[in-house]
């Protein structure tokens, strides 16, 4: 535990307000030095094909080049294992046993990238430029790690029943803020998307039909719900607050998930 926290704090201290573009040439040189000769030849071939291809085909070659280089950079991140260790350590406290494999990490990087520009009016960076910044900038990697953590916790909340939501917010010190920030948006998304549709809300015993209903949502739908309901900053801030202080989000698995649901209907 202490080793993970020390590593996180050490990474935080490395964060400096330096534009990634100022060191882009140095970054590319360092990356090129690590790429095996055979891979360098593949990349150079793609660069040549991109330059020589007709304009209408250049976009396709450029995308292939982006994906090829990005795949290699993801492998570098995997070898570092910093993101995996920090995210896995904190997720275990919520009984979320997420194994960050090469494939899942690539998926999360794309989530992080597209979510960054989802509600932005600015022109997005190219995916390759974004990956280069992620590799070079320790502060962005900490944000990425926080994003994974926040994303997984919010996914867990989307899959809770409304009774479990109630038990979860009862554990929090600032219940009203927690309800407004997370519970209300999630329950509204449940309603809008027809996941949980309350009927006769003012009739006490009618609550049984929807209040204890635990949603069954596909992974693809969960990702879409999180990204459409919460901004990238909201997701990242939740994860960062947990890393900074694990007690900032009180959690009792047995109380939330294993308590008898019939208790609320005892008169």
pLDDT tens by residue, 9-26? 555 555 443 444 444 455
Report the C-alpha gap between 107 and 85 in whole angstroms.
Answer: 17
> pTM here?
0.76
Which residues have a Cβ under 8 Å from the Cβ of 152 and sit 6 or more positions away? Answer: 87, 91, 94, 96, 98
Report the C-alpha gap between 3 and 9 in whole angstroms.
Answer: 10
Average pLDDT (38-47) is 60
Weakest mean pLDDT among 64-68, 103-107, 156-160, 196-200: 64-68
Report the C-alpha gap between 116 and 112 in whole angstroms.
Answer: 6
Give the residue, 236 or 62, on which the prediction is more confident: 236
Most distant CA pair in the chain: distance in Å? Answer: 78
Report the C-alpha gap between 177 and 169 in whole angstroms.
Answer: 9
Residue 1: which pLDDT band, with cuts at 50, 70 and 90?
low
Which residues have a Cβ under 8 Å from the Cβ of 259 and sit 6 or more positions away? Answer: 167
Average pLDDT (242-262) is 87
């Amino acid at each position: 535990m202490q080793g993970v926290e020390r590593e996180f704090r050490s990474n935080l201290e490395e964060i400096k307000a330096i534009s990634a573009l100022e060191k882009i040439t140095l970054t590319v040189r360092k990356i090129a030095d690590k790429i095996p000769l055979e891979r360098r030849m593949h990349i150079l071939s793609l660069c040549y094909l991109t330059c020589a291809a007709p304009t209408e085909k250049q976009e396709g070659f450029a995308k292939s080049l982006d994906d090829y280089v990005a795949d290699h950079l993801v492998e570098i991140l995997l070898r570092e294992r910093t993101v995996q260790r920090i995210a896995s350590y904190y997720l275990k406290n919520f009984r979320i046993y997420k194994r960050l494999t090469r494939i899942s990490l690539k998926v999360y990087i794309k989530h992080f990238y597209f979510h960054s520009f989802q509600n932005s009016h600015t022109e997005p960076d190219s995916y390759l430029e974004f990956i280069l910044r992620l590799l070079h900038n320790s502060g962005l990697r900490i944000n990425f790690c926080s994003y994974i953590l926040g994303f997984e916790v919010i996914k867990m909340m989307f899959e809770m029943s409304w009774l479990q939501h109630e038990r979860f917010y009862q554990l929090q010190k600032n219940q009203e803020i927690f309800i407004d920030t997370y519970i209300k948006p999630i329950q509204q998304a449940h309603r809008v998307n027809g996941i949980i549709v309350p009927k006769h809300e003012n009739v006490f015993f009618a609550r049984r039909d929807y209040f204890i209903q635990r949603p069954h949502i596909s992974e693809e739908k969960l990702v879409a719900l999180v990204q459409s309901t919460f901004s990238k900053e909201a997701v990242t801030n939740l994860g960062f607050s947990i890393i900074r202080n694990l007690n900032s989000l009180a959690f009792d698995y047995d109380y939330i998930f294993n308590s008898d649901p019939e208790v609320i209907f005892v008169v």
